[in-house]
Structure 1
Amino acid sequence: MKQAMLIVNPSSGKEKGQEYCEHALETMTTMGYKTELRITEGEGDAMDFAREACERKFDFVAAMGGDGTINEAINGIAEQDHRPQVGLIPLGTVNDFARALNIPMNPEEAIDIFRHNHVQRTDVGKINDRYFINIVAVGALAEASFSTPVEQKSKLGPLAYIIEGMKKMKEKQPFELKVHSDHDWEGDALLMLVALTNSVGGMETIAPEAKVNDGKLHVFVIKDVALPHFLLLLPKILSGELAESEHVHYMKVTNLEASSSYKMIANVDGDEGDKLPITIENLKQHLDILVPPTE
């Protein structure tokens, strides 16, 4: 019998994670899986459970939770030689990775797509010795996501990040940045975004060209500009034209190195990551993820 693991963060989605467990377990049983249920209790649990599933050569791993839980599960799988198929059940504030894969935001609908067994080969990013599934950002604005209070995220959703970002934006803290890749860049910047997907902070217009399987890092460096010029970038973000601004350096690469003389900390999928310097690469089509069938 095929083996599967269901990893659940019970505190995600206003603590509704366990409500959907029965539906997920029933679905996985009808698919022919003998499923083991794992409930996370703290940071790192989802990664450990996913790693265990790989080491035991499981066929399928489903992760139920927010972006943090899903990121942990992917980190546990991406480093392994044996990588099971992955199912995502989004319960978070933004759910960027699930959005990019067209996975329904309704958890029950997300579970139901498992039955179709439609696989999308999907890129994974690697930053130094850890993995990411959506974005790496550097700059004072990037720190907004991991400084946003949890209560505010729960109440306001993606709007919470925007509010915190506006506070940071008024501080306007440029930093010296060097980016080395096929296309080098050096200068003072307000923000560097490295996107794997088209969904960033719940918005799908920042990196509209980004595909989950194109093997590319989509890099946006927002130069040090006066606040009025920075504010004028917002309409370009909403219209999907950020890359065309004279105040933005855009490049599409497979890997890069970024460094700074300032003490900058990378934001990795919304959480605090490594200090610069950092090395980032795209692992093309590294994972098999179940997605809605194409029409």
Structure 2
Amino acid sequence: MKALVISNPSSGTSETMLGEVVATVESLYDEIHIQKTLAEGDAARLAQASKSYDHLLVIGGDGTLHEVVNGLMHLAKDERPSIGLIPGGTCNDFARALGLPVEPIEAARIIKMNHTESVDVMRINERFGLNFVGVGLIADASRQIDPIQKETLGSIGYFLATIRQFRELDPFNVRIERDGDIVHDGAVSFLYIGNGAYLGTVPTKLPTQSFNDGLVEVVHSSAIGFPMIRQLLAQQLGLEQSSDEWVHLQMSDLTIRLEEPQLIDVDGEHFTTDELHIDVLPNELAFFVPTHETV
């Protein structure tokens, strides 16, 4: 068997960590090729060229994984290698959703168990995502976080950025459509579309959340200011709320029409648009995950 390792040094992957990960799995393979990313887009390009490999080992954070997914989705489904994810970033949200250990060597040992699970992929306009799409508060907080604070405080930095953002939060008008029917038309303070189960290392606590059920969770709220802060803190920052100001739906596809362009966050990557078309592509990628006996 052959494995390609994509390692992102800027996510905190040291030479020592890389060597330990490779040493943990090297007995599985006849060949292991190591590629380090040097610039934005490298992980996507390398993943798109990975069809000759049996396994693709990704050492990095959510941003690296996002690039890899967008590269792999250019390959035919039967050409995509199975993915071994080794957390190396600040939040590692999708690794947490998969139940992977956040310690890299322990995560590498999961690959040796040779147990994979299929994962849905969200198609968002012309790009792809695994974990979430955020509009409003979620996107703004992610953009506003200070890089030094992110490095030193990790998930706490995301929480502080969110609290700061409340002071500048402006509701925005959005129309949400499913199969041509309007399910919401009005002002919201934030909008979350999720396939994973964590946001900034915090569990979303949505009881129906699953990364392979063919559905995404859609949560929006009209609460602003201190009412929202109280509700978030009461639920330990989870998105499952009992207030009438919070709405939670499940969909396999939806269209979002914004009154004016808004900042969009897809797995930590940002762009601006006034319209989103999101659909779920079921069971598109295979990830190595713990067996049920080890969870």
**Secondary structure class of the residue paired with 2:48:** helix
Contact conserved, 1:177 with 1:260, CA < 8 A, in 2?
yes
Contact conserved, 1:17 with 1:91, CA < 8 A, in 2?
no
**Secondary structure class of the residue paired with 2:31:** strand
Could you tell me which runs of 5 or more consecutive residues in structure 1 were left unpaired when the two chains were aligned: none
Contact conserved, 1:141 with 1:168, CA < 8 A, in 2?
no
Aligned to 1:212: 211
Aligned residues: 289
- CA–CA distance in structure 1, aligned partners of residues 41 and 229 of structure 2: 38
User: How well do the aligned residues superpose, as a CA RMSD in angstroms?
Assistant: 1.7
**Secondary structure class of the residue paired with 1:261:** strand
Write the deviation string for residues 92-111 of structure 1: whole angstroms up to 9, x where unpaired. Answer: 11100000001000011011
Stretch moving more, 113-122 or 271-280: 271-280
1:111/1:195 CA distance change after superposition, 3 Å: same
Aligned to 1:80: 75
TM superposition shift of 1:162 = 1.1
State the 4+ residue runs in structure 1 displaced beyond 4 angstroms.
none
Q: TM-score if structure 1 supplies the norm length?
A: 0.93
Aligned to 1:173: 170
1:9/1:240 CA distance change after superposition, 3 Å: closer
Is 1:94 the counterpart of 2:91 in the alignment? yes
Aligned to 1:293: 291
**Secondary structure class of the residue paired with 2:185:** strand
Contact conserved, 1:8 with 1:18, CA < 8 A, in 2?
no
Is 1:43 the counterpart of 2:5 in the alignment? no
**Secondary structure class of the residue paired with 2:212:** coil
TM superposition shift of 1:133 = 1.1
**Secondary structure class of the residue paired with 2:167:** helix
- CA–CA distance in structure 2, aligned partners of residues 198 and 141 of structure 1: 15
**Percentage of identical aligned residues:** 30
- CA–CA distance in structure 2, aligned partners of residues 226 and 189 of structure 1: 9
- CA–CA distance in structure 2, aligned partners of residues 254 and 291 of structure 1: 24
Aligned to 2:254: 256
Is 1:60 the counterpart of 2:58 in the alignment? no
Aligned to 2:225: 227
Contact conserved, 2:21 with 2:104, CA < 8 A, in 1?
no
**Secondary structure class of the residue paired with 2:107:** helix
1:274/1:34 CA distance change after superposition, 3 Å: farther
1:33/1:287 CA distance change after superposition, 3 Å: farther
Write the deviation string for residues 242-289 of structure 1: whole angstroms up to 9, x where unpaired. Answer: 243211121100011101112212111112134120111111111110
Write the letter of the residue equivalent to 1:260: L
Is 1:9 the counterpart of 2:8 in the alignment? yes
Contact conserved, 2:57 with 2:83, CA < 8 A, in 1?
yes
Contact conserved, 2:232 with 2:238, CA < 8 A, in 1?
no
Aligned to 1:194: 193
- Structure 2 counterparts to residues 143-182 of structure 1, below 5 A: 143-181=140-178
Stretch moving more, 34-43 or 270-279: 270-279
TM superposition shift of 1:189 = 0.6
Write the letter of the residue equivalent to 1:11: S
TM superposition shift of 1:40 = 0.5
Aligned to 2:24: 27
TM superposition shift of 1:237 = 3.5
- CA–CA distance in structure 2, aligned partners of residues 8 and 198 of structure 1: 24
- CA–CA distance in structure 1, aligned partners of residues 138 and 72 of structure 2: 30
**Secondary structure class of the residue paired with 1:53:** coil
**Secondary structure class of the residue paired with 2:189:** strand
TM superposition shift of 1:241 = 6.5
- CA–CA distance in structure 2, aligned partners of residues 153 and 239 of structure 1: 18
Aligned to 1:184: 183
Write the letter of the residue equivalent to 1:105: V
- CA–CA distance in structure 2, aligned partners of residues 33 and 161 of structure 1: 42
Stretch moving more, 25-34 or 159-168: 25-34
1:287/1:226 CA distance change after superposition, 3 Å: closer
- CA–CA distance in structure 2, aligned partners of residues 294 and 240 of structure 1: 25
- CA–CA distance in structure 2, aligned partners of residues 288 and 38 of structure 1: 21
Equivalent in 94, 102, 106 of residue 103 of structure 2: 106
